[in-house]
């Protein structure tokens, strides 16, 4: 079983990456293969709404999305991490998730005419474990966290929680100080244990 952690922060080794890596480390200690994926430096455009993926079953925009989509497809679990930017996830993570969700739906389904209803067959992400992780200095966590939850639930994923919302508090005055959030670290480690437990149930 493999879990990937997608870090939407533009800062390498920042607070968001710290909390994602904390979760991945605990998963790794639990015997789960892990990989950290940074969006920093990646070329990821937003979805342009061309609908060509309906027929082609792939995104026609040529950038780093294709590699990332394949990694998401091959993972059993996905951590989606973002700092809070004006009560929202970062633009690169939004672009990745918009395109992945849209393509993932049409990989598994065919478009019908306007007079037909849909009985969705799921998506390319059906049954995958997904856990949001958000980080803020103070406010904006709830909406950002909800954005990631909404993506997971509309894409037929299994959402994994912890003993509190998977949020970290860090970054006052731009500081990289996530290691001081002892409660947040505990939340992430418990999240990793919950994800490990579910993954092991799948193996039975």
Q: Hunting for tokens 């509309």 — which residue is that?
A: 154
State how far the Cα of 84 lies from the Cα of 144, in Å rounded to an integer: 6
pLDDT tens digits along 104-140: 999 988 887 777 777 778 899 999 999 999 999 999 9
| Neighbouring-strand partners of residue 2 | 33
pLDDT at 203 over 90: no
Residues 6+ positions from 154 with CB-CB distance below 8 Å: 101
pLDDT tens digits along 61-101: 999 999 999 999 999 999 999 999 999 999 999 999 999 99
State how far the Cα of 98 lies from the Cα of 39, in Å rounded to an integer: 15
Q: What is the pTM for the complete model shown?
A: 0.95
- Contact, 133 vs 80, CB < 8 A? yes
Which tokens sit at 152? 């997971």
pLDDT at 175: 96
Domains by residue range for the chain, with CATH: 2-108+121-194 (3.40.50.360)
pLDDT at 122: 87
pLDDT at 167 over 80: yes
3-state SS class at 50: coil
pLDDT at 204: 74
pLDDT at 176: 96
Residues 6+ positions from 85 with CB-CB distance below 8 Å: 91
Question: If you average pLDDT over residues 146-156, what whole number do you get?
Answer: 97
């Amino acid at each position: 079983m493999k879990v990937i952690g997608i870090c939407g922060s533009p800062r390498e080794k920042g607070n968001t990456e710290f909390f994602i890596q904390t979760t991945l480390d605990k998963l790794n200690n639990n015997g789960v293969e892990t990989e950290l994926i940074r969006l920093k430096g990646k070329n990821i455009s937003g979805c342009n709404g061309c609908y060509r993926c309906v027929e082609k079953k792939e995104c026609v925009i040529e950038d780093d999305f294709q590699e990332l989509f394949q990694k998401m497809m091959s993972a059993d679990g996905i951590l989606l991490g973002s700092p809070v930017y004006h009560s929202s996830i970062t633009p690169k993570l939004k672009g990745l998730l918009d395109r992945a969700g849209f393509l993932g739906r049409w990989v598994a389904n065919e478009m019908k005419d306007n007079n037909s209803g849909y009985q969705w067959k799921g998506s390319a992400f059906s049954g995958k474990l997904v856990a949001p992780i958000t980080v803020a200095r103070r406010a904006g966590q709830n909406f950002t966290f909800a954005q990631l939850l909404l993506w997971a639930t509309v894409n037929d994923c299994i959402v994994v929680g912890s003993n509190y919302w998977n949020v970290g508090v860090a970054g006052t005055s731009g500081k990289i100080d996530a290691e001081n959030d002892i409660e947040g670290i505990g939340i992430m480690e418990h999240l990793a244990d919950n994800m490990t437990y579910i993954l092991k149930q799948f193996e039975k």
